[in-house]
Copies of this chain bind each other. A is one copy, B any other.
Amino acid sequence: MSDPIPLNLARLRRTCAECSLQMLCLPAGVDAEDLGRLDTVVQRRKPLAKGESLYRTGDPLRAVFVASEGSFKTVVVNPAGEEHVLGFHLPGELFGLDAIGSGQHRCEAVALSDSRVCELPFSQLATIAAKLPSLQQQLLRVIGQSADRDHDHVDVLSRRQASERIALFLHGLSERYRRIGRPCDDFQLPMSRDEIARYLGLVLETVSRGFSRLHEDGVIEVRGRRVRIVDETALCLAANGGSDGASPQPRKRDRA
């Protein structure tokens, strides 16, 4: 453990190449020894089957997570029994931070497909961060990025047109695929129409119709969960109020 462990560094670089833990592991200023210490803390590649929960509402804060394979959703079930989707978590994206406020998870994390996750015990993370200022900064940044995704969600939900929400959702997803180093204009949705609907505050039929409409308008190609973005510009336009397909003048600026 006191040896500088170049082997571990190499392995981490390889296996976590596109992982957001990279932000925690590999910033400048974290040397091999520090990294080795962190490495002993990360528990790697825990497998989960589709539909299994990683944590449930009320569970104490134990760790933060990153899927190395597969995606997750986080959901809350309200008193009326309806399920709301709070977020989707692609491979390489950190999640599970919802518990750092109260110490308890406010939602449930469910695997959308057979998955593998790395987990990083939070107490040890905090301890190490206290000793490594650079790691502390990285930790703050990663937390901030997680909050940014929540803001994106709010942004989507604030749109009052279903077509805007759907376009913005697809655009955001594309952006995130790009960021984790995957094709961003041709991908497989890890979630169902119903789950998208519960994320967007709509019903599944509306989502389906929205997809069909974007297809008709030549913005995307859809077949089931396969999505190809044909016209990214048009997608952005649709996300910002160019709601109706053939709106001749999508220019409306209200001012006071």
Interface set of A (CB-CB < 8 Å, partner B): 76, 78-82, 84, 86, 97-102, 106-107, 126-127, 129-130, 133, 136-137, 140-141, 143-148, 150-151, 153-155, 157-160, 198, 201, 240-241, 252-255
Tell me how many chains of this kind the complex includes.
2
Contacts of A101 in B (CB 8 A): 141, 143-148
Which of A81, A140, A155, A158 has the most chain B CB atoms inside 10 A of its CB? A158
Do B150 and A147 touch across chains, with their CB atoms under 8 A apart?
yes
Q: A136-B130, A154-B153, A240-B80 known; A148 and B253 CB under 8 Å?
A: no
A56 to chain B, nearest CB (A): 16
* Interchain residue pairs with CB less than 8 A apart (12): A81-B252, A82-B254, A86-B154, A100-B144, A101-B144, A102-B148, A126-B136, A126-B140, A127-B133, A143-B143, A157-B158, A157-B201
> Are A240 and B102 in contact, with the CB atoms below 8 A?
no
The one of B144, B157, B159 that contacts A97, using a Cβ cutoff of 8 Å? B144
Are B76 and A155 closer than 8 Å at their CB atoms?
yes
Q: Is the CB of A150 within 8 A of B150?
A: yes
Closest to A140 in B: B100
User: How far is the CB of A45 from the nearest CB of chain B, in Å?
Assistant: 27
